[in-house]
Amino acid sequence: MSRPRLLLLSSSVVHGHGFLEYAASDINTFLNKNRVSTVLFVPYAAVDHDAYLAKVRPVFTKWGYQVEGIHQDNPVDAVKRAEAIFVGGGNTFLLLKTLYDKNLVKLIRERVFEDGVPYIGSSAGTNIAAPSIHNTNDMPIVYPPSFNALNLIPFNINPHYLDTDPNSTHKGETREERILQYHSLPDAYDVYNVLGLREGSLLLVDGEMGVLKGIKNARLFIKGKPPQEIEVGTDLSHLFANQLKASAVRL
Amino acid sequence: MSRPRLLLLSSSVVHGHGFLEYAASDINTFLNKNRVSTVLFVPYAAVDHDAYLAKVRPVFTKWGYQVEGIHQDNPVDAVKRAEAIFVGGGNTFLLLKTLYDKNLVKLIRERVFEDGVPYIGSSAGTNIAAPSIHNTNDMPIVYPPSFNALNLIPFNINPHYLDTDPNSTHKGETREERILQYHSLPDAYDVYNVLGLREGSLLLVDGEMGVLKGIKNARLFIKGKPPQEIEVGTDLSHLFANQLKASAVRL
Ligand SMILES: [Ca+2]
Ligand SMILES: [Ca+2]
C-alpha cells in the first residue's frame, strides 16, 4: 500500500494560455518530485488517439519527459509498467467506457494506490479520478457499463465549473442548479460532495492531503450546506478525512 | 396499430414568456384536434413530483383540461387509461431511470404507437421521445439501465440548442462540437441524426409527417453532412421516411 499522488486539472486549456501552460510549473514539480522520466498518456476521451498523442507529446518533450501512448501497445501491459499516467480531456463517457472495455479501471486504481504511480488528469481525466462521473458536463454519447470511476478521491469533481451568468437569457439549468439537484436526490441514491474546479484551477493530492492550486478559485458543494468559495492555496485535507479507506474497500 | 401524434418542445420556458406560454396555441390545437379532456402529467424528471404537478396543473386548467399526476396512483394503470401524456422537463437521466424502474418505457411506447395516444414532451420529455438520450445536455446524476429511450421518432433531439458564443472565453466544448463528436464515433456505435431544437422551437409529428413549429429555427445534424438551419414551418417528413418501421421493431 502506497499513498495516492494526484494532480487533477479542471482543463488543459485556459483562456489566454497555451495547451497545459497555466499548469506547467505544477506538472513539472509533481513529476520531478516523483522522479518520473516517462509519462503514459491515455487519449481515450477522444476519438482520434494518434492525433491526440501528437498534440500532447511535444509539450511534455519540451519539459524533458518522454511520452508513451497507451493505444500504441497492449494497454494492460502499458499500465503495469507506467511510471506516471496522464489522462487527457475530451468525452468522459467515452473515456470511462473505453477503460472498462479494456479492463483498466481496477488496474489503474491499483497502480495509484498500491504502487504510488503519480496520476495527472485533465477535465474528463479528472472526472474519472472521482468515485463517479455523475458530475461531468459531457454529452452521454456512449453508454458505459457503470458511472463508477477510479475512485482515487472521496468526492466528485465538476471540471470547467462555470458561474451563473446573470445576463443570460438561456433557460437550461445553471451549473449550480445541476449540482444542487444532484444533492437533492432521495437518500436511496449514493451522493458525493462535489468540488467545482473553474478553468485554471487544479487539485494537488498527496495521500490524504489535498490543496487547491492554479490561478482560479474553486467552488465546493458539501451536501446539505450552502456552496463555498475555495481560494487558491486552501488546504482541502478535511475532504479526505476518514473516507479514503472506506472508499478504497469498494473496488 | 395507430400513428404517433407528438408535440416535442425544446423547453417549457423561453426568455420573455411564461411557463409553456410560447407553445400555448400549438398545445391547445394538438389536444383539441385529438379530443383530449384529461392530460396525464409525468413529473419524473424532477425530484419533487407534487411541487411539479402544482406548477403544471393551473396552466392546463386555464386552457380547459384536467390534469392527473402519474405519481398519484399506480403509474402503469394511469398510463393504460391515459387520453394524452405530457412529460415535463428536468433531468433526463432521472426521468429515464424512473420510467425503467416503474416498467413504463415499453408501455408508453405501445400506447403512442398502438392506440395513438397524443404525447407532449418538453426538454427531458422530448429527449426521451427519441431512440436514445445520447444528446441530452443534462448532468448524469443517476445511472439508468440503458440510454435507449421511447423511440417514438427515428432521430435524436438536442433540446435547449445553443449557438456558439464567439465572445466566450470558456473552453468547454460548444454544443456543435459535442454533436459532431457524437457523429465521429467509430462505426461500432449506433449513431442517430440529431435535431437541435433552440429554446422556442418545437416539432409536431403526425405519423411520418413532421414539421418545425414555434418561434425559433432549429439546427439539423445529419451524420456526415454539414449542419443545416431549419426554419419554422419546414416539413421534416424526410427524416421519418423508411425508418419508423425499422426502429419500431427494436423494442
Ligand atoms: Ca469534455
Ligand atoms: Ca434539463
Report pLDDT digits (tens) over A77-95: 999 999 999 999 999 999 9
The pLDDT of residue A42 is above 60: yes
List the single range of A13-17, B105-109, B129-133 with lowest mean pLDDT.
A13-17
The pLDDT of residue B1 is above 80: no
Distance in Å, alpha carbon of A172 to nearest chain B alpha carbon: 6
Residues of chain A contacting residue B134, judged by C-beta atoms under 8 Å apart: 139-142
Superfamily (CATH) of domain A5-238: Class I glutamine amidotransferase (GATase) domain (3.40.50.880)
The domain limits of chain A are: 5-238
Give the residue from B15, B143, B183 with the most A CB atoms within 10 Å of its CB, the best one to mutate. Answer: B143
The pLDDT of residue B127 is above 80: yes
Are the C-beta atoms of residues B127 and B15 closer than 8 Å to each other?
A: no
Give me the pLDDT at residue B251, please. 43
Please judge whether B141 and A181 are an interchain contact, meaning their C-beta atoms are less than 8 angstroms apart: yes
Q: What is the pLDDT of residues A101-136, one digit of tens each?
A: 999 999 999 999 999 999 999 999 999 999 999 999
Are the C-beta atoms of residues B251 and B109 closer than 8 Å to each other?
A: yes
The three cell numbers of residue A117 are: 504511480
A164 reaches B (C-beta below 8 A): no
Please return the burial class of A238, using the count of CB atoms within 10 Å of its CB with bins 0-12, 13-18 and 19+. Answer: exposed
B18 reaches A (C-beta below 8 A): no
Q: What is the pLDDT of residues A138-191, one digit of tens each?
A: 999 999 999 999 999 999 999 999 998 888 888 788 999 999 999 999 988 989
The pLDDT of residue A29 is above 60: yes
Please judge whether A138 and B173 are an interchain contact, meaning their C-beta atoms are less than 8 angstroms apart: yes
A188/A185 Cα distance (integer angstroms) = 8
Q: Count the neighbouring beta carbons within 10 Å of the beta carbon of residue A130.
A: 27
Superfamily (CATH) of domain B5-250: Class I glutamine amidotransferase (GATase) domain (3.40.50.880)
The three cell numbers of residue B140 are: 448524469
The residue in chain B having the minimum alpha-carbon distance to the alpha carbon of residue A123 is B172
Give me the pLDDT at residue A94, please. 98
A138/A158 Cα distance (integer angstroms) = 10
Please judge whether A173 and B138 are an interchain contact, meaning their C-beta atoms are less than 8 angstroms apart: yes
Which H or E run includes A206? Answer: strand A201-206
The three cell numbers of residue B195 are: 435535431
B209 reaches A (C-beta below 8 A): no
The residue in chain B having the minimum alpha-carbon distance to the alpha carbon of residue A194 is B141
Cα A79–Cα A7–Cα A101 angle in degrees, nearest 5: 35
A156/A145 Cα distance (integer angstroms) = 19
**Residues near B196 by Cβ (< 8 Å), separated by ≥ 6?**
B157, B158, B161, B175, B179, B218, B219, B220, B221, B227
Of B81, B91, B107, B117, the residue nearest B7 (C-alpha): B117
Side-chain-side CA neighbours of residue B173 (13 Å): 21
The residue with greater pLDDT, A215 or A17, is A215
Is A50 an active-site residue? no
